[in-house]
Structure 1
Amino acid sequence: MTTVEPVSAHDYILNSPATLLTDALSGFVAAHPDIDWQPDPGFLYRADRGEDRRVALVSGGGSGHEPMHSGMIGAGMLDAACPGLVFTSPNALQVAGATRWADRGAGVLHIVKNYTGDVLNFRIARHLVRDEVATDHVIVDDDVATASESGPGRRGTGATIIVEKICGAAAAEGKKLDEVAEIGRRVAANSRSIAIAYQACTVPGSSVPAFELPTDEMEFGVGIHGEAGVRRTAKVGARELVNRMVDPIVDALSLVHGEQVIALVNGLGSAHQLELDLVFGEVVADLHRRGITVARPMAGTFITALDMDGVSITLVRADDDVLALFDAPTTAPAWPYVPARAVSAPVAVTFAEPDDAAADGPECGWLSAFVDRVQGSIDHLTDLDRRAGDGDFGVNMDAALGHFAIPLRGTDTEVLDAIATSFLVRAGGTSGALFGVLFRQLAAAFADGRGFDDSLRAGAQSALAEIVDLGGASVGDNTMVDALSPAVDALADGDTGVAAEAAERGARSTEELTAAKGRASYVGENARGVIDPGALVVSWLFRAAADRS
């Protein structure tokens, strides 16, 4: 019988887990004098960018994937990149700020990995700047391990940097926004990837890896946020391993004899270059046997999952036009064959503190009770999300609400607005974006001066509509909508007490559901029997409203 041998967590070089991102960004900016940091709202940008009227590129994502995206900033690639917390998408205000900065009058293209939080926050950012900047976007969804007819679809992984490179070259040539976007979508549609791991990653500050893996087994189809694979098998030799990985990619792209590809062999964090070169050689040999030519090679560490011990393979169908753009020069420091750069002095890096303080005044009792309940339940919420999702929900709730002193003071509108700002700026990820929308809509409704029940009803209704539009979830998808929607229905015919009971029933119903939206959808049946933490927090909000004094 296979046994799991104890695996020690990775010991990171750091001052503290809480300052790892800002400390690392400080060193990164010091090492790359052509890249600078904007603390409000927090993004990296090209310090040497000219003012010529060309399409600009903005991307970003959770930290822990370096050198993507920060190392892809430079002439011929990205103009700006927004870093989120570890494995957490940047928030919409970061993306909107980077978009405004990057625009030179020809529009801005967002290149977005197909993870729920990334897609949502970039979409909200485009809404925020729609009256100021012309924007378009390319969704990169290349991971064949998560291909499905329902749910969020394939994750965005290794092909992201190739889309960034080719779109960046197209923009540098002076192509229009719609042309650059179309090229990016064509490259994304012709790209597929798969990844395997011999050992899971360890999140800084954690004492255990993301998942346990016996030393004689491997995970096939892992994700870059530390997600376990779609199946676990015994380890095999490199040649058989590569064949198992290339097969589904070739099938997904319908590659045939005589075609040519860009081939990327990528280390996920702990794979040595010797291993990557070995795997690349096997990829070339495997494709040669199929009559497929590797027109451009890439073998190195470009898209990581912190310290995960594993490798990914990406193939991109390429014609002469795509190869010409791929070959165009770039100054991005992480792209191959970039000359060495000078070292500058360390730069202090901080995120600007958001203006999310509630006003002075009388105690806001019902929201104080809600925030106090969440603050006291962080470990419970984290455990629920670890069992049914990716484990960051409690961290995001703590980031958004943990700093508020109880009791909260101010009018309902002032406190709701403060909570909304905190969620949008501090939390990040899907939960930060959607709860930010919820509280922003509630704040707007309460500002209209109606009675409490009418304001709650109007705000909840508009929030539900906005959340469904942004995230696409409906009742039964095992999300916060399962509690919010029945509460909105109950408010139409009853008081807040009836709405609270409806929200609580909706939250409890998620225990018997499997997720169809968000990252929890990737764990499938493993989520059954676990209440959705987002729905639970929504039910707490309505209970606090019903019990207000």
Structure 2
Amino acid sequence: MKKIINDPRHVVREMLEGSVSRSPGQALLSNQNVVVRKAYDGNATVAILSGGGSGHEPAHAGYVGDGMLAAAIAGDVFTSPSVDAVLAAIRTVGGTAGAVLVVKNYTGDRLNFGLAAEMARSEGIPVEIVTVADDVALRDTVAADKRRGIAGTVLIHKVIGAAAAAGRSVTDVAALGRRAATGLGSMGVALGACTVPAAGRPGFKLGDTEIEYGLGIHGEPGVRKGPIAPADGLAETVLSAIIDDLALARGQTVALLVNGLGATPPMELDILLRGALHVLHGRGINVARAWCGNFLTALDMPGASLSLLKVDDELLGLLDAPASAPAWPGGGQLNDAPIRQVADAPAEAAVTTSSTPAGEAVRRAAHAAAQALLAAEDELTDLDAKAGDGDLGASLRRGAEAVLALPAHAWHSPESALRRMADAMRQAIGGSSGPFYATGLMRAARELTGVAEPTPRQWHAALQAAADAIADLGGAKAGDRTMLDALYPAADAYKAALDANLAPFEALEALHLAATRGAEDTATLHARAGRAAYLGDRAMGIADGGAVAVAIWMGALR
């Protein structure tokens, strides 16, 4: 286990001290793990409180602020806070206006929050409880009132926090929260387990292609295991369960919450959001608001949950009401025109001129080089992963596929072929390889302008010009451990073979052999350019992927 902590016994307190330090509107009680609003008058408006075990950050302290919670009570990791902590929070922010406790439907939370509420009532503080049991994954396992409370709870915080800020009574706020909770459903999937700091190991194990459906938020396994599916398939499966449970019909308006569980990157959450919107729109369900991000996590668990809240004009207005809690992103409005149509480029004029023999020779050579790169994708990916970001194989595959897809008229002449290959590589490859190859091919094309049948020496001049253009663009030189360490030796060997009056096939053999040796020698060079330069001596012993790729496609030119 690797964690950036000091002592597993003190993670909650130290986490809260750090969190409150960056939240000027909050304060941490000296004797309890309770975060409260600094300026709060419990006699003026109803206080909304929530909490539970830690490990769900940014919940719950992240929602303490105007328009949401007045206090958040933090237990140990995945452990309900004590009765004394909950009571201390109620006493601090509760007053004559009363308090509403939002409780996720776990036994420990219900017991401790419930007893603290009873004790506060005996002290004269009006207290109501809103229990959230939104986990629809358990609909076939337990009764509705026994389900767990998970990420949809955050939407309840927002709704009743806004109602309290508007001055509504404690009974009205609680009734509103209960009504909203009955129209709330959530379900999650986990791609792996989380690691509780005190335990030091994952809570369960999954196979490489397995996921858990219907997970809890305390590191426990889900309702069932199943094979991993694409994001759109996961959205369909999860939302189908929620829609069925809430009996959502066409025309129903909802708010959507896409929640990360701690280790899922924003890229994947947005892909899941896209899939969820597609499913809901396809079923005729109107998505009035949507949020996407980490709202209620499970430490470092990879996975996500989806929540749907039935909304009407009243609830929508409360969701839109301003709130200053640090973790609440606000907004939620959807883009009604997310895709901007771009006019197609003017169609190319029809080309009827057949390819010259030299153009046809370039096509055969380019196709052979492209096929060689396709075959080497795994090799290049593995090599680049050791001293780069691992995208070289996929990048050159896209470039190779683009070259193979060029139309017949692209190969009319060597010049046109090189220019069209440059365009294809530039458009297909988004990383550094695209600009490098495109620049080299464009410079080579310029070198052969107007040359219908290039001689071997003219081909050498084109190769030399291409290598120089790449060096100029990237700022590297021979010996810097880049693709140039294959290109320059190859160009030199090709010229030397021509000077020795070797046959064209033999000259290409010399070119390939020099490129291969140059690529192999990069394993002994200190990187002074490219991503490998960031690794220092750790890149030693690993050949440069870009140079190896050059040697691979040069081998196909024969």
Specify the TM-score bucket, using the shorter chain as the normaliser: 0.5 to 0.7
Q: 1:151 to 1:57 in 2, by over 3 A?
A: closer
| Correspondence 1:96 to 2:116 | no
Normalised by the size of structure 1, how large is the TM-score? Answer: 0.59
Confirm whether residue 241 of structure 1 aligns to residue 244 of structure 2. Answer: no
Alignment of 1:253 with 2:268, yes or no, is: no
Aligned twin of 1:55: 46
Whether the 8 Å contact between 1:36 and 1:44 is mirrored in structure 2 is yes
SS at match of 1:29: helix
Pairing of 1:163-182 with structure 2 (within 5 A): 163-182=156-175
Return the alpha-carbon distance in structure 2 between the equivalents of residues 219 and 72 of structure 1. Answer: 28
Structure 2: 5+ residue stretches without partners: 332-558
In 1, Cα distance between equivalents of 2:239 and 2:39: 40
Task: State the match for 2:326 in structure 1.
Answer: 333
Is the 2:51–2:81 Cα contact (8 Å) retained in structure 1?
Answer: yes
Maintained 8 Å contact 2:42/2:96: no
* 1:266 aligns with one of 240, 259, 270: 259
Paired position in structure 2 for 1:14: 5
User: C-alpha separation between the residues in 1 aligned to 2:329 and 2:320?
Assistant: 11
Q: Give the residue type in structure 2 aligned to 1:101.
A: T
Take 2:131 and 2:168, find their aligned partners in 1: how far apart are those partners?
19
Per the alignment, in what secondary structure is the counterpart of residue 129 of structure 1?
helix
- Check conservation: 1:266, 1:302, Cα contact below 8 A: yes
1:190 match: 183
The answer to whether the aligner puts 1:46 opposite 2:40 as a matched pair is no
**In structure 1, distance between residues paired with 2:111 and 2:145:** 11
Q: Does 1:292 align with 2:285?
A: yes
2:111 corresponds, among 113, 116, 120, to 120
1:78 maps onto 2:65 in alignment: no
TM-superposed deviation, 1:53? 1.2
State how far apart, in whole Å, the 2-side matches of 1:114 and 1:337 are. Answer: 26
Instruction: Tell me how far apart the structure 2 counterparts of residues 43 and 205 of structure 1 sit (CA, whole Å).
Output: 21
Counterparts in 2 of 1:123 and 1:52: CA distance versus 1, 3 Å: closer
Q: What's the counterpart of residue 408 of structure 1?
A: none
Match of 1:211 among 201, 204, 220: 204
Per-residue deviation, 1:293: 1.0
Q: Is the 8 A contact 1:159 1:192 kept in 2?
A: yes
Partner-residue secondary structure (3-state), 2:251: coil
Q: d(CA) in 2 for partners of 1:102 and 1:51?
A: 5
| SS state at 1:264 partner | strand
Q: For the residues of structure 2 that align with 1:79 and 1:286, how far apart are their CA atoms?
A: 36
1:244-393 paired onto structure 2 within 5 Å: 244-337=237-330
Check if 1:144 corresponds to 2:141. no
8 Å Cα contact 1:142-1:159 kept in structure 2: yes
Aligned to 1:105: 96
SS at match of 1:199: coil
Structure 1 equivalent of residue 192 of structure 2: 199
Aligned to 2:56: 65
**TM-score normalised by the chain length of structure 2:** 0.58
Measured in 2, the distance between the counterparts of 1:37 and 1:104 equals 19
| Contact 2:41 2:95 (8 Å CA) reproduced | no
Alpha-carbon separation, structure 2, partners of 1:207 and 1:73: 30
Contact 1:266 1:312 in 2 (8 A): yes
Mark the CA change 1:155 to 1:138 in structure 2 (over 3 Å): closer, same or farther.
same
Contact 2:33 2:75 in 1 (8 A): no
Query: Which letter maps to 1:112?
Result: V
**Native 8 Å contact 1:116 1:152 kept in 2:** no
Distance 1:188 1:42 in 2: 27
The answer to whether structure 1 residue 129 and structure 2 residue 124 are counterparts is: no
Deviations 1:141-179 (A, max 9, x none): 000112344597110001111001000000111111110
Q: Which amino acid aligns with 1:130?
A: R
Contact in 2 for aligned 1:45/1:81 (Cα 8 Å): yes
Give the length in aligned residue pairs: 329
Report which structure shows greater RCO (CA 8 Å, sep ≥6).
Answer: 1
Q: Which residue of 2 aligns with 1:221?
A: 214
- Secondary structure in 1 aligned to 2:121? coil
2:16 maps to which residue? 25
Aligned residue type for 1:235: I
Give the match for residue 490 of structure 2: none
Tell me which amino acid in the other structure corresponds to 2:91: R
Structure 1 residues 147-156 or 202-211, which shifts more? 147-156
Q: 1:95 to 1:77 in 2, by over 3 A?
A: same
Q: Which moved more, 1:56-65 or 1:203-212?
A: 203-212
Task: Name whichever of 199-208 and 318-327 sits farther off.
Answer: 199-208
Q: Supply the distance in 2 between the matched residues of 1:108 and 1:169 (Cα, whole angstroms).
A: 14
Distance in 2 between residues matched to 1:110 and 1:177, nearest whole Å? 11
Measure how far apart 1:97 and its partner are: 1.1
Which letter does structure 2 place at the counterpart of 1:47? K
